[in-house]
Amino acid sequence: MSTMHLAVVGTETESRPLIDATERLTGIECVCVPHGSSVEGVDAVACCGSHENSVQAICDFARSGMHLLVNLAALRTTTDAETMVAECGEADVQLMIVPPRRLLRSVQAVRQSLDANELGEPGLLRIHNWVTEQDEEIDQLLLHELDLAIYLYDGPPTTVYSVAHDSGNSRHFVQVHLGFEGGGMALIDVTTGLPEGDNYYSLSLIGANGSAYADDHHNAQLLYCGGPAMAERTREHALDWTEPLRQFAAAIDRSRKPAIGADSALAVLSVMSAARRCVETGSAMRRQGGDYERV
Amino acid sequence: MSGSDTGRTFRCAVLSVVKHAYVPHGVAAHPRFELAVVADDADAPSWAHERNQQFANAYGIPYVRNVEQAIKEHDVQVAIVSSEAERHCDLSVLAANLGLHVVQDKPMSNRLSECDRVVHACEANRVKFLLWNRNFLPSVMHARRIVSSGRIGTPYAIHVDFYFAKDSGPRKGSRGAGDPPINWLDRQLEAHADGSDGGVGREPMGELQIEGIYPLAYIRLLAGAEFERVFARTTAHFHQANVDNDVEDLATVTLEMQGGLVGSLCIGRIGAASHPNIGEIKIHVLGSRGGLVLSEARPEVEVYYRGQPPAEFRHRRIANDNDFQLVQNFADAIDNDGETILDAKAGRAICATIDAAILSGRTGRPETVI
């Protein structure tokens, strides 16, 4: 395998997990570039974060002949994804859209348990993701969790329903209820309404033969400094980008489509759009062809 | 019936005690309640007579095969109803019309019209009604205190996970070609041995009907609001008995409540392999100033020992005086002409929510709670 020269575009915080991954792999030389800077002399670009002009910038990279590793968070609509796919196709460069939540160690442990057929057919996925206002936008938060549902069920939902709660003019809570082929279901709630401090995350998957519970509540440690005990979480390590980066490098080297292409991004953006319409109309949506229509 | 003589002992008629008898046991454990008689209809099936007689023998009280006669002849003030589900309301109405206060096992009924009859009978006869529930569990009371204190601000979303990690007969897919479908009542009678016969009755009931009262009562208690609209997904995912009888053992419900509150319920009889204890039962509350994540089982003590039976729970709940508090609440309501923590109207409201959820599971649409 020849050496791949990779530009990692993003803030220090956004880029760090990916840079760490490059250090664990051979054959990748990496430079870090802030958002908005020009990129030259590299084979590929990794866009780690989500910014309003991300799609335009990514298309510019494609037109310059650079292969692209993109964080799902960079996309907001199916049009974004379609535009990106078209540009990459025209420029004949590889496009890999990575949903970073899938890279969490806890999610990987659940996925491995499913793959090993320990849990049986999944029946119910429950996710709570509560963060503070400063941490993430509500839509981005939801996008990642919807992707996890599609990932763990191996396909898009057949039914979507959603409710939301607003504070003033700002939406700070969304709950999405999904139904899958064969009777499986998922309930996901996300909020950006926690006060400043720790976030909370919980994912449980109930299968026909067993269940997996990945819950910050279970991983809380106690700290005594006078007054009521405080709960502190022993955190998972940072997202592990090693495997997607290895797959990306291999796809470029062998000129073949990456394992995670744009299809899953298009699917999750379509569900996201259906969820928005549920909140607007108060109706449930059912999958018809590749889109969702009111029930 | 007036309860002005505070502190008196209430004599109770146990009307049909055909499933695991946690309700009459719970009432009998309170010092102000005394079991006086067990009664059932003469035409009850033989297995019901047998269980009634066993219970009466255990308490050294008579078993009378005529409900009205038993009530009239034994100077009772309270009826404890623990029959098959479809008879719950009929027995409660009969007792209320004879002037008795009523403690009734869940589910309130599998028919909303029956719940309406109970509401009317209790109002018309000015008697108190308590639908058995778990709202006095230490953790639920803890959640209520935190919410009431305002520490997390005004609640806007409440979620409950209510999984019972129990098996319920043969696994889904185990029925052989040519085997008859599992008869619901036969399965429930068989389940009596391990106390998992919560769905006793001739008509099959899914997990929403059997256990939905508990988590929905938590949400109602914490929200202080009624359910208005629901969207649900239901399926028989684990057990052949549920598949054969077209009732769910797994369900999820989106809840829309008064005042813009939202919430959700995940409920299932998910199989003994899915959790080392009774199951993951959790309450999540989001408020304008914070959030609360709470395990319903706590406080608990973990006990492990050599030779421990595989089915024995390793975590044992402690400090649980839910039964006593429920019965005390019932006595207080009688003494002070107050309301119980889950009266007939509240039980009816929960029953209506479950009905709407089951309907939504079939239609695929959100449904209004009537």
ipTM: 0.94
Predicted confidence (pLDDT) at residue A85 exceeds the cutoff of 90: yes
Contact A203, A125 (CB under 8 A): yes
Beta A285-288 vs B250-257: how paired, if at all?
Answer: unpaired
Q: Is B238 on the interface with A (CB under 8 A)?
A: yes
Do A255 and A121 share a structural domain? Answer: no
Cα B299 from chain centroid (whole Å): 22
Residue-wise pLDDT tens digits, A73-83: 888 889 999 99
Q: For CA atoms A263, A208, B354, B162, give the dihedral sign.
A: negative
Q: What is the pLDDT of residue B251?
A: 98
Closest CA to A10 of A66, A64, A59, A74: A74
User: For residues B239 and A218, what is the distance between their CA atoms, to the nearest angstrom?
Assistant: 29
DSSP reduced 3-state for A45: strand
Question: Tokens 């199989």 — which residue?
Answer: B271
Rg of chain B on CA atoms, in Å = 20
Contact A47, A84 (CB under 8 A): no
Q: What is the pLDDT of residue B286?
A: 98
Q: In this structure, what CATH number is given to the domain that contains residue A152?
A: 3.30.360.10
In chain B, residues with a C-beta closer than 8 Å to the C-beta of A211 are: 163, 270, 274-275, 280
Q: What's the average model confidence in pLDDT over A268-291?
A: 96
Q: Is B31 on the interface with A (CB under 8 A)?
A: no
Closest CA to A12 of A51, A54, A48, A55: A48
Q: What's the average model confidence in pLDDT over A4-11?
A: 93
| Least CB–CB distance from A210: residue in B236, B274, B366 | B274
Do A193 and A133 share a structural domain? Answer: yes
- The 3-class SS string of chain B reads CCCCCCCCCEEEEEEEECCCCHHHHHHHCCCCEEEEEEECCCCCCHHHHHHHHHHHHHHCCCEECCHHHHHHHCCCCEEEEECCHHHHHHHHHHHHHCCCEEEECCCCCCCHHHHHHHHHHHHHHCCCEEECCCCCCHHHHHHHHHHHHCCCCCEEEEEEEEEECCCCCCECCCCCCCCCCCCHHHHHHHHHHHCCCCCCCCCCCCHHHHHCHHHHHHHHHHHCCCEEEEEEEEECCCEHHHHHCCCCCEEEEEEEEHHHCEEEEEEEECCHHHCCCCCCEEEEEEECCEEEEEECCCCEEECCCCCCCCCCCCEEECCCCHHHHHHHHHHHHHHHCCCCCCCHHHHHHHHHHHHHHHHHHHHCCCEECC
User: For residues B286 and B293, what is the distance between their CA atoms, to the nearest angstrom?
Assistant: 9
Residue-wise pLDDT tens digits, B62-73: 999 999 999 999
Mean pLDDT of all residues belonging to chain A? 92
Residue-wise pLDDT tens digits, B17-38: 998 899 999 999 999 999 999 9
Predicted confidence (pLDDT) at residue B4 exceeds the cutoff of 50: no
In chain A, residues with a C-beta closer than 8 Å to the C-beta of B264 are: 175, 177, 187, 189
| Least CB–CB distance from B231: residue in A124, A128, A284 | A284
Residue-wise pLDDT tens digits, A211-265: 999 999 999 999 999 999 999 988 776 678 888 999 999 999 988 888 787 899 9
Predicted confidence (pLDDT) at residue B294 exceeds the cutoff of 90: yes
A24 CB neighbour count, 10 Å cutoff: 12
| Least CB–CB distance from A124: residue in B171, B231, B266 | B266
| Least CB–CB distance from B286: residue in A177, A191, A204 | A191
Q: What is the percent of chain A with per-residue pLDDT over 70, rounded to a whole number?
A: 98
Closest CA to B159 of B298, B286, B17, B335: B286
In chain A, residues with a C-beta closer than 8 Å to the C-beta of B250 are: 123-124, 183, 185, 206
Highest mean pLDDT pick, A98-102, B99-103, B174-178: B99-103
Q: What is the pLDDT of residue A136?
A: 76
Instruction: Assess if residue A186 is contained within a domain.
Output: yes
Instruction: Assess if residue A27 is contained within a domain.
Output: yes
Of B58-72, B305-319, B322-336, least confident by mean pLDDT is: B305-319
Q: Is B150 left (phi over 0), alpha (psi -120 to 50) or beta?
A: left
In chain B the domains, ranked by start, together with CATH numbers, are 10-131 (3.40.50.720), 138-320+344-368 (3.30.360.10)
DSSP reduced 3-state for A216: helix
Residue-wise pLDDT tens digits, B237-281: 999 999 999 999 999 999 999 999 999 999 999 999 999 888 999
Residue-wise pLDDT tens digits, A200-225: 999 999 999 999 999 999 999 999 99
Interface list for B 145-164 with A (CB within 8 A): 156-157, 159, 161, 163
Predicted confidence (pLDDT) at residue A271 exceeds the cutoff of 80: yes
Interface list for B 308-367 with A (CB within 8 A): 363-366
User: For residues B254 and B274, what is the distance between their CA atoms, to the nearest angstrom?
Assistant: 23
Instruction: Assess if residue A293 is contained within a domain.
Output: no
Question: Tokens 């009688």 — which residue?
Answer: B334
Do A222 and A137 share a structural domain? Answer: yes
Instruction: Assess if residue A133 is contained within a domain.
Output: yes
Cα A249 from chain centroid (whole Å): 20
Contact B86, B19 (CB under 8 A): no
Q: What's the average model confidence in pLDDT over B305-319?
A: 91
Do A229 and A132 share a structural domain? Answer: yes
Do A222 and A78 share a structural domain? Answer: no
H or E segment at A86? helix A78-91
Does the beta-carbon distance from A206 to B163 stay under 8 Å?
A: yes
Q: For CA atoms B215, B219, B222, B225, give the dihedral sign.
A: negative
| Least CB–CB distance from B254: residue in A175, A193, A216 | A175
Q: What is the percent of chain B with per-residue pLDDT over 70, rounded to a whole number?
A: 98
Do A128 and A38 share a structural domain? Answer: no
Contact B336, B194 (CB under 8 A): no
Q: What is the pLDDT of residue B1?
A: 45
| Least CB–CB distance from A163: residue in B256, B268, B288 | B256
Distance (Å) from the alpha carbon of B281 to chain A's nearest alpha carbon: 12
Do A246 and A226 share a structural domain? Answer: no
Distances (CA, A) of A137 to A74, A76, A134, A171, B187: 12, 11, 8, 9, 50
What's the order of all strands across the beta sheet hosting B129-131? B63-64, B33-39, B10-17, B78-82, B101-104, B129-131
Contact residues, chain A to chain B, C-beta under 8 Å: 121, 123-124, 126, 128, 130, 159, 161, 163-165, 167, 173, 175, 177, 179, 183-187, 189, 191, 193-195, 200, 202, 204, 206-211, 213, 216-217, 282-284, 286, 295
Residue-wise pLDDT tens digits, A112-162: 999 999 999 999 999 999 999 876 789 989 999 999 999 999 999 999 999
Does the beta-carbon distance from A159 to B295 stay under 8 Å?
A: no
Instruction: Assess if residue A89 is contained within a domain.
Output: yes
A54 Cβ contact list (under 8 Å, min separation 6): A47, A70, A74, A75
Q: For CA atoms B297, B301, B304, B309, give the dihedral sign.
A: negative
Q: How would residue B2 be classed by pLDDT, with cut points 50, 70 and 90? A: very low
Structure tokens at A205: 């998957």
Contact B298, B318 (CB under 8 A): no
Does the beta-carbon distance from A189 to B157 stay under 8 Å?
A: yes
Q: What is the pLDDT of residue B52?
A: 98
Mean pLDDT of all residues belonging to chain B? 95
Q: In total, how many domains does chain A have?
A: 2
Q: How would residue A38 be classed by pLDDT, with cut points 50, 70 and 90? A: confident
By CB neighbour count within 10 A (0-12 exposed, 13-18 middle, 19+ buried), where does B42 fall?
A: exposed
Q: What is the pLDDT of residue A52?
A: 64
Do A277 and A147 share a structural domain? Answer: yes
Q: What is the pLDDT of residue A1?
A: 64
Q: In this structure, what CATH number is given to the domain that contains residue A46?
A: 3.40.50.720
Predicted confidence (pLDDT) at residue A2 exceeds the cutoff of 50: yes
Do A32 and A131 share a structural domain? Answer: no
By CB neighbour count within 10 A (0-12 exposed, 13-18 middle, 19+ buried), where does A242 fall?
A: middle
CA angle (B358, B364, B365) in 5-degree steps: 90
Which has more confidence, A288 or B197? A288
Q: What is the pLDDT of residue B5?
A: 59
Residue-wise pLDDT tens digits, B331-353: 999 999 999 999 999 999 999 99
Do A78 and A27 share a structural domain? Answer: yes
Helix axes B344-363, B213-223, angle to 10 degrees: 110
Do A284 and A173 share a structural domain? Answer: yes
Instruction: Assess if residue A150 is contained within a domain.
Output: yes
Q: What is the pLDDT of residue B3?
A: 41
Does the beta-carbon distance from A128 to B284 stay under 8 Å?
A: yes
In chain A, residues with a C-beta closer than 8 Å to the C-beta of B363 are: 295
Domain span including residue A21: 4-99+240-260
**Chain B contact probe: residue of A158, A171, A187, A196 with most B CBs at under 10 A:** A187
Distances (CA, A) of B235 to A93, B162, B240: 44, 16, 12
Beta A211-215 vs A200-207: how paired, if at all?
Answer: antiparallel
| Least CB–CB distance from A183: residue in B161, B237, B365 | B237
Do A184 and A155 share a structural domain? Answer: yes
Distance (Å) from the alpha carbon of B274 to chain A's nearest alpha carbon: 4
Structure tokens at B348: 């009816």
